[in-house]
Structure 1
Amino acid sequence: MSPIKIASGTVNQTPLDWKGNLDRIIRAVKEAKSEKAEILCLPELAITGYGSEDLFLSYWFPQKALKQLELLIPECTDITVAVGLPIRIQENVYNCVAVIENAILKGFVAKQYLAIDGVHYEFRWFTPWQANEVIDFEFQGENYPLGDQIFEHKGIKYGFEICEDAWRGTMRPGYRLAERNVDLIFNPSASHFAMGKTRERYQLIQESSKIFDCYYCYANLLGNEAGRMIFDGEMMLGKSGEILGRNQLLSFQDFQVKSFYLEPKKQDIAPILEKEKEFVQAASLALFDYLRKSKSKGFVLSLSGGADSSTIAILVSEMVKRGIQDLGIVLFCNKLNLPLPPKEENADKFLVGELLTTAYQGTKNSSNDTFQSAKTLAESIGAKFYHWSIDEEVFSYTKKIEEAIGRPLTWEQDDITLQNIQARSRSPIIWMLANIKNSLLLSTSNRSEGDVGYATMDGDTSGSISPIAAVDKYFILHWLNWAEKNLKQPGLQLVNSLQPTAELRPLERTQTDEKDLMPYAVIVEIEKLAIRDKRSPMDIFLILHEELQLESSVLKDYIKKFFRLWSRNQWKRERLAPSFHLDEFNVDPKTWYRFPILSGGFAEELEQLDQL
């Protein structure tokens, strides 16, 4: 086999941004050529973006993708380029890779297995290709082979597994490619980010290159492409069970190219990051892409001084730090239409002040501790900070309803009503601030609250996006302590000293989240089994009874409370603001877990617990 240099490329694409998508691909091709790479593999559906949803079902959209391919082909002189796009053949749409060699189209490979689990709904848009089938496809007046085929370059035989193809065990196309004696397999992917997932990919590339005894090259999409899913831009090469090269993930760049020599020695392997670092890098990149792609001017945040809103404030601060480090201050500011910081100013703090406006909206039930926590944190990162009382608004609403129903509201009789009106009274004025500033309002709900409906609809759930709605509260509390030390965020010291509380009841009632619900450590164990693993209440009890040091009656009560609150609050999860997929699972019915709004609420299943 001739020793050659190949390249993996990643691009940060956006559905319907035809000109921008093509430009980023062409720039990646030019970069690969400048690095003397002879073959460049770009990600799955790179021309259109993976998140184009039902646009794939139209007739015009795949046709437009082919028009972009026409424009790309002349740019691929002196290099072979593989690039993903959808192709419609009569009533069916196929997820394909076009192979261009020295500005000549050689043919198309079609994806054989479609992802349908978790965040993926590919069977809604695409038809799986049959193994070993190749047809003629007319393009620009000529016929080109399309289907299950391999290619050759300087005596090197190469083929493709497209993303999900590689995750199908003994059914995967790689076995048929190995029978055809390929030397190299490319995997163009649109594999969503989740904390810890890169370890699975690392193992996949190791095992694939070993099983098939070949080079195995991986190329993933990059960035928050269309709003919810984040792609980490992973690029990797393996050979015979060894990882030879890997890039650092989650770049703020428009595109990246990583070149590899086809030789069995290690070449620049970036380390796999710990979960806490992955979280901050992915969330900050997602915020950056969401901000610039939505063409908004900044963020507005109701900063309570508690864990959730403080986490989001830190993520915005880290977005600025990491964006400047990755892009340089001039390009970072240009991408977000920001002024350059004056030379005498701290650049990070100045830009956070330009981008993030916060407000502490207190009531007579709020404590000075949370006010000081919010104020100190905002000042430490440079965010604009306002504060006001909403007691007048709460009193006005309460007085009107008391006059209408002819009785006073009391905490003994109207607890939820009196809590919710405070949360809802905060929403209109913070929305006003977001509108004034043409900014995105950041909702502060977390996944644990989504599980049990511990959130006020049209109150703390109000927002344009909900950055941490896919992350559990137990992790957030742990991460904040980690961030204070490892991200050098001293403004978190007061935040981390407080016990989580909604502060909606009078202070003498000593409200805390875990007193209202159950320990967050227990919630996360129940939800993993109930939502991630889809276990029954009985299964969960039997499993956790062995794992947790809880009395049987207490554990049963927690499980019953979780399932009753889960069933009752599906309507809230249906209305949560768009959130980023950051963990191995989430509770967003649009992207991971669908559940009926109306149901019997596990009544029979929960009754069985009492029979033990």
Structure 2
Amino acid sequence: MSTLRIYSAQINPIVGDFAGNAQKILAAVQEAREQQADLLLTPEMALTGYPPEDLLFRPALQERVQEQLDYLASQVTDITLVVGYPVRYEGQLYNAAGILHQGQWMGEYFKACLPNDQVFDEKRYFAPGEQPCVIKLKDMHLGLLICEDLWHPGPAKAAVDAGAEALLVLNASPWHQGKQHERVQLARQRVEPLQVPLIYCNLVGGQDELLFDGASFAVNAQGELQASAPALEEAGLITVLEKQASGVILLPGNKAIWPEPLAYLYGALVLGLQDYVNKSGFKGVVLGMSGGIDSALSAAIAVDALGKERVTGVMLPYHYTSSMSLEDAEAEARLLGIDYQVYPIAPMVDSFMTGLEKAFAGTQRDTTEENLQARCRGTLLMALSNKLGLMVLSTGNKSEVAVGYCTLYGDMVGGYNAIKDVYKTLVFQLAEWRNQQGQVIPQRVIDRPPSAELAPDQKDEDSLPAYPVLDRLLEGYIELDQSAADLLAEGFSEEDVRRVIGLVDRNEYKRYQAAPGVRVTYRGFGKDRRYPLVNRWPVF
């Protein structure tokens, strides 16, 4: 009876940092040695980071990949390493997994199923593999799969038909709410008819708008969860395969407890912002503190991601800014311990209004004047960003971004938006959850009616349906592709349906110019949803 110890390393690479990623892999090799592992399994495209997108078209790609593969071969001679990378053969580029054994590359597997929906464009870059890959180690036959291969029955069956007694899966699986449980269920569906255990190693970390959550795991031949790694952090998972007379079985291992939904979501937002800022090389962030819940939650996420020393909050009051907002913004800054500054914008707005007096003569006050306030704030924040080297963090939630309840070159300025894919109703829930861990948001901010404070006594619901109604309409139209007729059948008023769908469609141009933000829903704005700016798709 023989055993095989496998160390799954969910690492956090940086796209394009070939040498740095190779060092991360070598650090994982050392950890695997300390765990007395026989094999180290890394995530999909671990050597390049994922997704490398059009960097894959660069002429120097193959040379840089090969340089690091040669380096790994010179450094790893005492443990079997499975690593993901792109490789070109006969003019075709493949998403590959290579097997390094005793310092020699003994085989490669090419990803067979290439995702080309939601956030994926793999058919733009890769050719599909056509052959299974089964390696023998300690009298056990191990079949390799790469991410999307698991979502289709063919590749797993082909590996088992070729002799695989267990499946090893390299993954770069982006997270959205609940995705961690979907993967386990998928693995169960795949192995039950094949009766082989499966080990799933996933990438971790933020890459632009995508968030990879780790949460690697292993299931036995019956699809039962036997081991799991922590979520949202670099970690390793030891799993043990044992060869018995009846075949290869997976022994029970450690099971990390994954966070409950709100904690998972909050942690994902923190990790997404943290990696975007740190991987991009910013010193820190600056954000407008309005006294409202969106900027309050964004500031809390920023502090948890970067530390209070790297976050600057700026209050930019005007005539319509209430004393309550001034007090609450200052109170939150004090609770978070961040640098906090106040710059009244009235002199700037008045200067613009004086300069535009002739052009505006004979017109009525409207949203133009409101937008001017927001744009003065945006200009000031960008000036601070340029002078201090801090990235501007914009703070608009998904509900606002969806319907265009935001101002181009105003509150939309910024390099990143931590809550871009978080609906307003969920913003409130996250604020409550964060306060349960230690109060950082004044309760009055959560309790008061939301307002942009760009006009006297203004409230969001003066211009929009109540947020519970709005968010359900948005979820149906954006994420579920429900039609107006579908939404009417659910009992929503025709007025609300026409209004919300019209706002979503008319404001696509704003979203094209919005800052990126981590995707946490099933369909975020960006890679996930690509609509033409000019179109006449009928609402009804």
TM-score normalised per structure 2: 0.95
Match of 2:529 in 1: 593
> In 1, Cα distance between the equivalents of 2:302 and 2:444?
19
Task: Pick the aligned partner of 1:375 from 318, 324, 330.
Answer: 330
Match of 1:435 in 2: 386
> In 2, Cα distance between the equivalents of 1:25 and 1:564?
49
Match of 1:231 in 2: 212
- The Cα of 1:369 is off from its aligned counterpart by 1.0
Contact 2:134 2:163 in 1 (8 A): no
- SS of 2:270's partner is helix
Whichever residue aligns with residue 489 of structure 1, its letter is Q
- The Cα of 1:27 is off from its aligned counterpart by 0.9
Whichever residue aligns with residue 568 of structure 1, its letter is R
> In 1, Cα distance between the equivalents of 2:20 and 2:83?
15
Task: Pick the aligned partner of 2:138 from 154, 163, 188.
Answer: 154
> In 2, Cα distance between the equivalents of 1:271 and 1:474?
27
Match of 2:241 in 1: 262
Match of 2:21 in 1: 21
CA shift digits 1:284-333 (9 cap, x unpaired): 1222222221111111010101111111111122225xxxxxxxxxxxxx
Match of 2:278 in 1: 292
> In 2, Cα distance between the equivalents of 1:567 and 1:414?
26
- The Cα of 1:258 is off from its aligned counterpart by 1.6
> In 2, Cα distance between the equivalents of 1:211 and 1:495?
53
Contact 1:419 1:504 in 2 (8 A): yes
- The Cα of 1:499 is off from its aligned counterpart by 1.1
Task: Pick the aligned partner of 2:478 from 527, 531, 544.
Answer: 531
Match of 1:219 in 2: 201
> In 2, Cα distance between the equivalents of 1:471 and 1:152?
46
Find out whether 1:163 has 2:147 as its counterpart.
yes
Match of 2:469 in 1: 522
- SS of 2:96's partner is strand
Contact 2:396 2:417 in 1 (8 A): yes
Match of 2:420 in 1: 469
Match of 1:570 in 2: 508
Whichever residue aligns with residue 259 of structure 1, its letter is I
CA shift digits 1:369-408 (9 cap, x unpaired): 111111100100101111121112112212222223433x
> In 2, Cα distance between the equivalents of 1:371 and 1:211?
62
**For this pair of structures, how many residues does the alignment match?**
532
Match of 1:80 in 2: 80
Task: Pick the aligned partner of 1:307 from 280, 287, 293.
Answer: 293
Match of 1:174 in 2: 156
> In 2, Cα distance between the equivalents of 1:318 and 1:212?
44
Match of 2:352 in 1: 397
Whichever residue aligns with residue 203 of structure 1, its letter is Q
- SS of 1:249's partner is coil
Aligned ranges 1:188-587 → 2 under 5 Å: 188-224=170-206, 226-240=207-221, 241-251=223-233, 255-262=234-241, 264-320=250-306, 351-352=307-308, 354-407=309-362, 409=363, 413-485=364-436, 487-506=437-456, 510-542=457-489, 544-545=490-491, 555-587=493-525
Whichever residue aligns with residue 372 of structure 1, its letter is E
**What's the RMSD between the two structures over aligned residues?**
1.6
Contact 2:3 2:138 in 1 (8 A): no
> In 2, Cα distance between the equivalents of 1:184 and 1:482?
41
When structure 1 is superposed on structure 2, of 454-463 and 65-74 the one drifting more is 65-74
CA shift digits 1:216-263 (9 cap, x unpaired): 001111111x32211112221110221111011111xxx532211225
When structure 1 is superposed on structure 2, of 57-66 and 567-576 the one drifting more is 57-66
Match of 2:246 in 1: none
> In 2, Cα distance between the equivalents of 1:166 and 1:74?
32
Which runs of 5 or more structure 1 residues have no equivalent in the other structure?
A: 133-147, 321-350, 607-612
CA shift digits 1:171-208 (9 cap, x unpaired): x3111222234221011001012121101012123333
Whichever residue aligns with residue 291 of structure 1, its letter is V
Whichever residue aligns with residue 210 of structure 2, its letter is M
- The Cα of 1:90 is off from its aligned counterpart by 3.3
Which runs of 5 or more structure 2 residues have no equivalent in the other structure?
A: 243-249
Identical positions, percent: 30
Whichever residue aligns with residue 159 of structure 2, its letter is L
